Chains A and B, each alone.
Chain A
Amino acid sequence: MTEMAQPAAYDALAGEWRRRQTRRLAAIFLATAAVIAAFAYAGALDFSRYADALPTIAQLAQDSFPPDFARWREWGRPLLETLATGIAGTALGATLALPLSALAARNAGAPVWLNETVRFWLGAVRSLPGLIWGVIFVAAVGFGPLPGVLALGVHSTGMLGKLFFEALEHVEPGPGAALRAQGASRLGVFRFALLPQALPRLTDALIYRLEHNLRAATTLGIVGAGGFGLEIVTAFHLFEYREASALILVLLALITLVNFFGATLRRAMLRGF
């Protein structure tokens, strides 16, 4: 490369470079404007509304202290219900999401029309919040943990399906091509090339979803799907803030335990057992 050639080479790129910079700045400006508009619309920029907030929260914290664990013997069953709802809902969601993600991923061999159809339905399923699915399934199968399992299962299918197919699409194409070149079937390529590569990301998504579902299982108690959430809501309704704070601490301990278990499981998976 000569010294004379460099300015000419730069000039050839300068126009396109400037256009790209302008587009990038415009995108940043528009995104910032949208965020500020959202805050303003939600009333978050009306600072007078924060005046009473801090004293109220301080009062609530004072009323909640010290936590009251007197009824701890009665919490075992709802706690187990919540745990079972979270685990079973996640397992149901993951079991349905994995084959659907294989059909939705562009690199797993399914035709484009099927990719799009499955993606549409995964989007449709997750567009309804878990709480709405809870109301629907309470009406369908009655009260208790079962509607919670079904609600979390269906909603998790939509969420995990999206996370799974995105993870599958991010794998290196080489190993899959190597298997195709030797005549492996589409299912074989998925099982032996895509899945092993995507497994750490699938595990991450699954553990994150389990943690999310355990929290969601407590909220589902509000719509009649049983569990620990019902206990917390009842304590708040009865103004038993000290008991409510004890229940929240127990829930926090449970979630921490699940996180620890999840991290251990992930490490084991990454090590390859």
Chain B
Amino acid sequence: MSMLHFVPNPVACWPLPGPATPALSVDGLCVTRGGRQILRQVSTAFAAGVVTVVVGPSGAGKTTLLNVLNGLVEPTGGEVFAHDFGAPHGVDSLRSSDSWAALRQHTATIFQDHALIGRLSALDNVLLAFAESRHPLSPFPWPRFAREAAAKALADVGLLDRAFDRVENFSGGERQRIGIARALARGPRLLLGDEPFSSLDQPLARRLGQDLRALAVRDGVTLVLVLHQIALARALADRIVGLNDGRVVFDGPAEIFDAEAEASVFTSTPNTKGS
């Protein structure tokens, strides 16, 4: 990965609601795959303690944007800036894999398809949140802090009593909660969620969404969610980024994401609005 820059002194690169400063920003981001442009010159910023929700029609590039932020997709153009994520070498570390490693230490992702291992227990799956803190060849069991954090995360999503059940025996909604538990167990400073509530019923989706929101506000977590439920997006977001055909067509406070703005995001004609 060569596109990630650490900026030691947080600088507001993009207008953000209120006094928030960016924790992560992207500038002129382009991603091309199989000859198809998935992201086109995307520039925006994500602030700590602020819930940013990315919305847009299918194929707009929402998941790809999230996967650029967690380093799974390498952009073909543009840059990613990480501000104040404990970069080990300051300005010297620009464009280095060390920079990505430093950011990833603080990153957790909730995946749309859960990304769980069916034949392992719920607890074993949540423990994978600590995979990089245990040597792969270690014959010893998971350290106590990891087991405690995993148990607490499972309790937080209401699945502690089924900790030793195999994931393949859980429903889709329960698996999603295990995926959320795995992400929360890391105590991340950057939490990315790709349709994290798509398999949940509405009341549970709202409750877990509000829990994530409270966590972001309380602990200053940078929370970026991709959601297709617009009502839920409005309820949770401080800020909404609307993508259409790989372009940012709305970027502003959730309060001004009205019906007209929604229509501009979900129709094919790019129509920039917001701050």
Residues of A bordering B, CB below 8 Å? 172, 174-175, 177-185, 187-193, 196-197, 199-200, 270, 272
Contact = CB atoms under 8 A, between A and B. Distances in A.
A180 B101 CA distance: 10
| Residues of B in contact with A, size category | 20 to 34
A262 B189 CA distance: 47
Interface in B39-55: none
B149 interface: no
Contacts of B100: 183
A191 B124 CA distance: 13
A272 B166 CA distance: 9
B272 to A, nearest CB: 30
A179 B117 contact: no
Interface string B98-142: 001100110111010111110111001000110110001100000
Contacts of B114: 174
B24 to A, nearest CB: 14
A191 B105 CA distance: 19
Nearest to A180: B72
A177 B115 CA distance: 8
B71 interface: yes
Contact of B132 (A174, A188, A270): A188
B128 A272 contact: no
Contact of B115 (A178, A184, A191, A200): A178
B128 A175 contact: yes
- Kindly list the 6 A-B residue pairs having the minimum CB-CB distance in the complex, ordered from nearest: A183-B104, A174-B115, A191-B136, A178-B115, A181-B70, A187-B136
B5 interface: no
B120 A196 contact: yes
Contact of A175 (B116, B121, B132): B116
Contact of A182 (B67, B107, B117): B107
Contacts of A174: 111, 113-116
Given A175-B117, A182-B108, A182-B109, A192 B128 contact: yes
A187 B138 CA distance: 12
A181 B128 contact: no
Contact of B101 (A175, A183, A197): A183
A196 B117 CA distance: 8
B186 interface: yes
Q: Which of A183, A184, A193: most chain B CB closer than 10 A? A: A183
A199 B117 CA distance: 11
Contacts of B72: 177, 180-181
Contacts of A189: 131
Contacts of A270: 119
B237 to A, nearest CB: 23
A217 to B, nearest CB: 31
A184 B182 CA distance: 14
Nearest to A186: B136
B213 to A, nearest CB: 22
Given A174-B115, A181-B67, 14 more contacts: A175-B115, A175-B128, A177-B115, A178-B111, A178-B115, A181-B72, A181-B104, A183-B105, A184-B132, A191-B137, A192-B128, A196-B124, A272-B119, A272-B121
Nearest to A192: B131
B136 A190 contact: yes
B175 to A, nearest CB: 11
A270 B120 CA distance: 10
Nearest to A270: B119
Interface string B195-209: 000000000000000
Contacts of B115: 172, 174-175, 177-178
A180 B71 contact: yes
B136 A192 contact: yes
B128 A179 contact: yes
Contacts of B113: 174
A179 B131 contact: yes
Interface in B135-190: 136-137, 166, 182, 186
A177 B72 CA distance: 7
Contacts of A184: 131-132
Nearest to A191: B136
Contacts of A197: 117, 119
A189 B71 CA distance: 15
Given A174-B115, A175-B116, A177-B115, A182 B186 contact: yes
Contacts of A200: 119
B119 A188 contact: no
Contacts of A187: 136-137
A272 B120 CA distance: 8
Contacts of B104: 181-183
Contacts of B71: 180-181
Contacts of A193: 117, 128, 131
